[in-house]
């Protein structure tokens, strides 16, 4: 396995990496396919994503798990997910009581918050049409 390249070989490798990463291949898969160490490929992929030469992982791989997608979105938008406790702490006592009263039996507070956000999104985008 190769771990260093330069010049024309480096430019050609970057083009090939862009192509394969955009198809959803991970660094290990790309490295195995092209005969390079996965760490070297990962470093190049990270740089290319940062420089927006290839799309974020979220847009490339639909089979990624939710945690990976959320982590990628946090990086892309420079945000932190926070915790449900922070949501509750940001509400007044009356709002917390309302939330508990309105949450349907058998549902979690998080389930209800998801429903509220979906409703707000649908209303904001004209029922998801725009």
Domain ranges (residues) in the chain: 7-77, 84-124
> Does the pLDDT at position 106 exceed 60?
yes
* Structure token pair of residue 47: 């740089």
What digits encode the pLDDT tens for the residues 65-98? Answer: 777 788 888 888 888 889 999 999 999 999 999 9
| Cα separation, 123 vs 21, whole angstroms | 36
* Structure token pair of residue 10: 């480096």
What digits encode the pLDDT tens for the residues 39-60? Answer: 888 888 888 888 888 876 655 5
For the segment 12-27, the average pLDDT, to the nearest whole number, is 86
- CA distances for 4 relative to 9, 20, 37, 53, angstroms: 10, 19, 9, 21
Phi and psi at residue 36, to the nearest 5°: -120, 160
More confident residue, 19 or 63: 19
């Amino acid at each position: 396995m190769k771990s260093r390249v330069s010049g024309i070989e480096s430019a050609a490798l970057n083009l090939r990496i862009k192509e394969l990463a955009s198809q959803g291949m991970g660094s290990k898969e790309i490295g195995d396919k092209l005969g390079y160490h996965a760490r070297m490929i990962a470093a190049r992929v990270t740089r290319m994503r940062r420089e927006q030469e290839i799309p974020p992982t979220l847009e490339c791989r639909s089979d990624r798990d939710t945690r990976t997608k959320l982590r990628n979105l946090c990086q892309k938008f420079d945000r932190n997910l926070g915790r449900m406790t922070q949501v509750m702490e940001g509400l007044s006592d009356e709002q917390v009581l309302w939330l508990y009263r309105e949450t349907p039996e058998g549902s979690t507070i998080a389930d209800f918050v998801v429903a509220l956000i979906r409703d707000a999104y649908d209303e904001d985008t004209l029922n998801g049409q725009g």
